[in-house]
Amino acid sequence: MDFSLNKEQTMIKDAVERLMHRHYTFAQRDTYARGAAGWSEAMWQRYSEVGLLGLFDSDVGGPVEAMIVMEAFGHSLVLEPFLAAVLLCGRAVQRAGGGSHAELLQDIAAGRLLMAFAHTEPSSRYELSRVATRATCKDRRWILSGAKSAIMHGDCARRLLVSARVAGEPADPSGIGLFLIDAGSAGVRRTGYTTQDGLRAADLVLDRVEVVAADVLGPPGAMFPLIQELADVAIAATAAEAVGAMQALHDMTVAYLKTRRQFGVAIGTFQALQHRCVDMLVELEQARSMALYAAMMASEPDARSRSAAMSAVKVQITKSSRYVAQQAIQLHGGIGMTTEYAASHYFLRLMAMQARFGDGAHHLNALASIDGREVLPAA
């Protein structure tokens, strides 16, 4: 058991934190958010220059590296599509694409290609195997029809990684395939929008979209394990992001309590507020522990153990972030409600995270469905 970072990990941490410090103040972020894309192309190139966009590659970095980056990104409320394009799509292509997609991976790492993972559907909610979008094979081509929703950064992605059912009933884990489509293909109708936390997303309607054989990832019909793996990667990443955001919000709240004066004294001298602040810290530390647990369990080969662990992570992260965010607003008072002050933006990010990759209730339900004296894998 060892909690320390190695030399390479420390270098990544320093590099990301330096980037955030120079280029991601709250005011700079606001400028990026107001741009047409909703994020900064210049930042994207900087991430590429320091090697972050290659982090899907297990030779470049594993879950600990992803955790380091996501925590720093959460701390600055980063807007760029790192999770969607790199950690999810990069990984999916690398794991399932074989040699034929090497060029795609190079393009992702170089910052030339944006991809998005189009999996959730209007009626799938958090159920990973509920895929109603259909893929039928005809003359060695696949024809995709259906609808996808809330695709993170789906608005700007040039290529989309789409899950579709080649066989079975809507909730069967078997019979799901993964297909690469161009966002501009005939039959693709895309609606982009901004989410509550300032990120961009898209809904998609696919009407007989053609996919050539070369753009099918892995054996169609057997891709559910990879989808599950991606969801677990996403939960681990989100956990780290939440910890970064909670830390920033907690620091902000402590600083506010020290400076804000009422009744002639700093409000931080009031014990009721001090204790609330400590309870926020307890929740934050519990969340941090689970983000570490997530980084450890993300490479667990046994899918059931891994997913159970990630469910536990999401349960804790949801609980902690809800408490920390709500109390941060409460302790700030009116100023916490305004959009000109950073706290509200952290609140929005922490809220939005809860509805991605399954909320606390969903994952608690998943854990409660497991039999045994313990539902989590032994360490």
Partner 1 sequence: MDLRYSPEEQEFRGEVREFFRSVLPREIRDKVALGRLPSRDDIVRWQRILNARGWAVTQWAPEWGGTGWDTVRQYIFREEMYLADAPEPLSTNVTLVGPVVIAFGNEQQKRHFLPRIANVDMFFCQGFSEPEAGSDLAALRTRAVRDGDQYIVTGQKLWTSYAHQADWMFCLVRTDESARKQDGISYLLIDMASKGVTVKPVMTLDGGHHVNEVFLNDVQVPVTNRIGEENRGWHYAKFLLGNERILTGRIGLSKSRLRRARDLAARVPAGGSTLAASHAFREKAAALEVELKALEITTLRVLDEVRRQTGTAQDPKISILKIKGSELAQATAELLLEVAGPHALPRQEDWASGADVACIGPEWAATAAPNYLYLRAATIFGGSSEIQRNIVAKNILGI
Q: Does 295 bind partner 1 (CB under 8 A)?
A: yes
| Region near partner 1 per CB under 8 A, out of 111-119, 159-167, 237-245, 273-281 | 273-281
Count Cβ atoms within 10 A of the Cβ of residue 59 and give its class: 0-12 exposed, 13-18 middle, 19 or more buried.
exposed
**Rounded CA separation 185/206 (Å):** 10
Q: Pick the closest to residue 180 from 136, 213, 146 (CA basis).
A: 213
49/279 with CB nearer partner 1:
279
Select the span of 91-99, 135-143, 264-272, 329-337 touching partner 1 (CB under 8 A): 264-272
Minimum distance, C-beta of residue 246 to partner 1, in the bound complex (Å): 14
- Residue 274 C-beta: closest distance to partner 1, Å: 4
Q: x/- site string to partner 1, residues 244 to 263, per CB under 8 A?
A: ----------x--xx-----
**Smallest distance, partner 1 to C-beta of residue 165, A:** 29
Contact status: 14 vs partner 1 (CB under 8 A): no
Contact flag: residue 222 with partner 1 (CB under 8 A) = no
If the CB atoms of residues 5 and 50 are measured against partner 1, the closer one turns out to be 5
Query: DSSP secondary structure string, 315-369?
Result: HHHHHHHHHHHHHHHHHHGGGGG-TTSHHHHHHHHHHHHHTSS--HHHHHHHHHT
Question: For residues 215 and 283, which CB has a smaller minimum distance to partner 1 in the complex?
Answer: 283
Closest contact distance (angstroms) between CB of 192 and partner 1 is: 36
Q: How far is the CB of 317 from partner 1 (least distance, A)?
A: 10
Question: Shortest approach of partner 1 to residue 350 CB, angstroms?
Answer: 17
* Separation CA 310–CA 293 (nearest Å): 9
Query: Which of 48, 136, 145, 274 is the binder for partner 1 (CB under 8 A)?
Result: 274
Sequence-distant (≥ 6) Cβ neighbours of residue 56 within 8 angstroms = 86, 87, 89, 90, 91, 93, 94, 105, 108, 109
Pick between residue 122 and residue 333 the one whose CB is nearest to partner 1.
333
Cα(365)–Cα(356) distance, integer angstroms: 16
User: Out of 28, 48, 174, 286, which residue is the one contacting partner 1 (CB under 8 A)?
Assistant: 286
User: Contact region for partner 1 (CB under 8 A) — 29-37, 240-248, 325-333, 369-377?
Assistant: 369-377
Question: N- to C-terminal Cα distance for the chain?
Answer: 10
The binder of partner 1 chosen from 234, 235, 292, 353 (CB under 8 A) = 292
Residue where the block lists tokens 């600083």: 255
Query: Which residues in the 56-85 window bind partner 1 by CB under 8 A?
Result: 64
- Alpha-carbon distance of 198 to 241, in angstroms, equals 15
* Widest CA span in the chain: 79
| Rounded-to-integer distance, Cα 306 and Cα 219, Å | 23
Return the C-alpha torsion angle 327, 329, 331, 335, nearest 10: 180
Q: How far is the CB of 308 from partner 1 (least distance, A)?
A: 10
What are the distances in angstroms from CA 362 to CA 128, 275, 310?
Answer: 11, 30, 12
279 part of the interface to partner 1, by CB under 8 A: yes
Cα→Cα distances 369→308, 356, 374, Å: 10, 21, 12
Closest CA to 147 of 172, 175, 121, 128: 121
* Residues of span 299-318 touching partner 1 by CB under 8 A: 312, 315-316
Q: What are phi and psi of 307, to 5 degrees?
A: -70, -35
Task: Name which of 42 and 259 has its Cβ closer to partner 1.
Answer: 259
Choice between 282 and 337, CB closer to partner 1? 282
User: Which CB atom, from 153 or from 288, has the smaller least distance to partner 1?
Assistant: 288
Considering only residues 308 through 367, tell me which ones interact with partner 1, judged by CB under 8 A. 312, 315-316, 364-365, 367
Whether residue 89 contacts residue 116, with contact meaning beta carbons closer than 8 Å, is answered with yes
7 binds partner 1 (CB under 8 A): no
Residues that bind partner 1 (CB under 8 A): 1-6, 9, 64, 254, 257-258, 266, 268-269, 271, 274-275, 277-279, 281-282, 285-290, 292-293, 295-296, 312, 315-316, 364-365, 367-370, 373-376, 379
